[in-house]
Structure 1
């Protein structure tokens, strides 16, 4: 592959060198078949979209891509996968890209799923991961100067600096290019020594991963209680778990609420804490974490990252959340799409973490979970009887003396 050489900052005659300014097509042309690419971004945020679009038009194959996730079918690294240019993906989460999941299940694409953050805890076995390196890093920044010093905008920083530091060559796409010296040194997030070439992007359009619109065009209209969709019921009940001043890590897409919350890719109003969410998790700083699930056992075992042969989401940050020491609350529908109980005596699916769940909230009931004693029904909807709940729950449970309703 073509390697763009690094430049020294100042020549002996005092002249400041500039990093090469390339078009997106020129940047893509430097990437050859078989290259390992480190791609910044998280979901649809901080994606080097111009370079990725240019690369998708080139006749390259057998690309190995390392990224946090696989974007969607039409954005991020999705088009590269769709066009058959990628042979292997190393990522934490692939669940939003149906084409990627399909190719993996059909054996057309190799996937190396890597959990986020650090996989070690005192007194427990830990998994040692190889440090990932690559031929080229494709990253996105908000602003850069002519020497390559970069500033990222809020959550768009995500994995971009890490990718830049781990690659032999780094190409950065910036929204704004300013003269060298125009950025205060204290404001620089990534120094130019890590940057080999720059692309000045054009117009950017904000992408929406899951577009949701009002069913009747009236967002303010209250949904009749008897016709409320299951997810809305779950979200309304789960919202009651929040307390003023809590530090919360919500993972279920319907539950990114609360002014002091930290979504998977969100930024809490907590100063600079958001830069090191892994540190926040490992040190047990979060009071509560809300996760979705495919199955939960009566003793709190959690399975939420894969249904072998059918659904592959990826571990993401769920393993760290489940072991963070915070109160784990699972929000999920009571039954699967084929009518089977998702609350079971023993999980049949690969576990995310054992005996970690403290409360289960479904559209029908709320259970408290004890790692030795099992489930206690503490609330139910008025339309369900205890007997009907027993028929829809795949394990025994006791009933709280003061059973509430919601």
Structure 2
């Protein structure tokens, strides 16, 4: 009797499966989410629409959708993206075509036209700390209207006054940011940030099925993943579309419920912004100029701040180079805020991958045991105090550890990127690597004169002349000095008073 019941059940189950397969086959051919072309996918975008664009630099950007918007021509767009591509690729082509009215971003980067247009008063630019931008977007997708974050407290982000638009011709600020509500929790100050949604999200995935389930590849998750959940209409372009059921459910990164339209991109250039390859000879070569020698001195000394088992984040420029001098046998896991843990060396020539970059937008590799994730997840690691060391460059540092490194009002604006989030973590150490002066002008001061990245956040300053430890109340303590430099020379090149650790003052070794 039991055998007969099992046979009946198996036959019935097979009929159900066959019926479902036929239904899926019919659904695939007439899926309401499938678009035949990128132009068809963007047809509902109108003048004045707000649009999110996934990607980090040029990695993981929706190329075909951006090109379609360029041809369709909607104006006065509010574009939300980590940055604005470059002048002739990515979002840069919408900017050059005067289609963007306001840019909400974290980093200006190397887009000279964006910086020029902003400083000339031709464009509104609302800069957000990168982690705050990611969390504002994530919160919108999760139905959370606002949240508190330590990032930006004591800076223009919280106090208001950051320029959003200059008057035409530049110079005078026409629109400035407004102060934000703050609150203290357990003795620590926080800033309230509001969720950020948009009319449309344009997303780049790697593979999707006709139902709209999406898989991303390597470091392309970045802002694509949270943005796909935060807009009223989400449109995803992918390199490959497969039948419903072909994607293993446990491999899906973005469930279909978030996706309104999906299309297979016609063409992907996948341009690499900074193609960087391994060159073992140059990584350890002797400096070829006096300035190279000074920078190498800073880099090698900074590398002594690493500790075994540490998770560390290295900023662009001098800090990033310190990874070449991690002592042999020491295990340091490098975190990159665009969604990578376990960064390895640059790839060998010919093995560059446009879908695998670091926060400097350089081609990179990943070490065994590494992982990929989205930008909101990356900054949860930072704010949650899971990163033990942050190494950054600086324009200015104050005697009490204030840091300025993201803009010179009216002259230069690069954006804060992830720096504000990285320095706000309370349990991680912040090490600044920089040249002691800039063209003879002091960079270490009583008070920073430039807009702050963080207040009382720096723990150690490494320059070519010395090493300062920073006490947030007592000020600077000189701990190490380069053998050929005197304390008097350091006093002359430092724009504030400092104490000397006379009993333990050491030579600055490499």
* TM-score (structure 2 length as normaliser): 0.71
Please give the secondary structure, in 1, of the residue aligned with 2:335.
coil
Task: Give the RMSD, CA atoms, in angstroms.
Answer: 2.8
Is contact 2:54–2:203 with CA below 8 Å preserved after alignment?
Answer: yes
Preserved CA contact (<8 Å) 2:51 2:200: yes
Q: Partners in 2 of 1:24 and 1:253 — Cα distance?
A: 38
What is residue 227 of structure 1 aligned with on the other side? 290
CA distance in 2, matches of 1:389, 1:211: 39
Residue number in structure 2 paired with 1:365: 466
**In 1, Cα distance between equivalents of 2:60 and 2:381:** 22
| TM-score (normalised: structure 1) | 0.88
CA distance in 2, matches of 1:205, 1:360: 42
Pick closer, same or farther for the CA change 1:212–1:387 going to 2, 3 Å: farther
**d(CA) in 2 for partners of 1:218, 1:83:** 44
Q: Distance in 1 between matches of 2:110 and 2:205?
A: 23
For 2:423, the equivalent position in structure 1 comes to 322
Q: Which has the higher helix share?
A: 2
Structure 2 equivalent of residue 153 of structure 1: 217
Give the counterpart of 1:42 among 56, 65, 68.
56
Corresponding position of 1:389: 490
Counterpart in 2 of 1:293? 394
Distance of 2:300 and 2:268 partners within structure 1? 35
CA distance in 2, matches of 1:93, 1:339: 28
- Unpaired segments ≥5 residues, structure 2: 1-19, 136-147, 151-184, 327-331, 343-368
Distance 2:230 2:207 in 1: 21
Aligned with 2:149 (options 110, 114, 120): 120
- Residue among 421, 444, 447 paired with 1:343: 444
Distance 1:99 1:43 in 2: 15
CA drift of 1:295 comes to 0.8
- The answer as to 2:252 corresponding to 1:188 is yes
Aligned positions, number: 395
Q: Give unpaired runs (5+ residues) of structure 1.
A: 1-9
In 1, are the aligned partners of 2:478 and 2:505 still within 8 Å (CA)?
no
Q: Which one of 200, 203, 218 corresponds to residue 264 of structure 2?
A: 200
Question: Would the aligned equivalents of 1:80 and 1:86 in 2 still touch at CA under 8 Å?
Answer: yes
Which one of the candidate residues 224, 227, 235 is aligned to 1:163? Answer: 227
**What secondary structure sits across from 1:22 in the alignment?**
coil
Structure 2 match to 1:6? none
Aligned counterpart, 1:4: none
Quick one: structure 1 residues 213 and 166, their matched pair in 2 at CA, closer, same or farther if it must change by over 3 Å? closer
Which range moves more in the overlay, 118-127 or 256-265? Answer: 118-127
Q: CA deviation at 1:206?
A: 4.6
- Answer with 1 or 2: which has the greater Rg: 2
- Sort the Cα spacing of 1:214 and 1:323 in 2 relative to 1 into closer, same or farther, 3 A: closer
Deviations 1:259-315 (A, max 9, x none): 501022251136658552222222212111112221100111111222111122223
Q: Is the 8 A contact 1:252 1:331 kept in 2?
A: no
Give yes or no for the alignment of 1:16 onto 2:27: yes
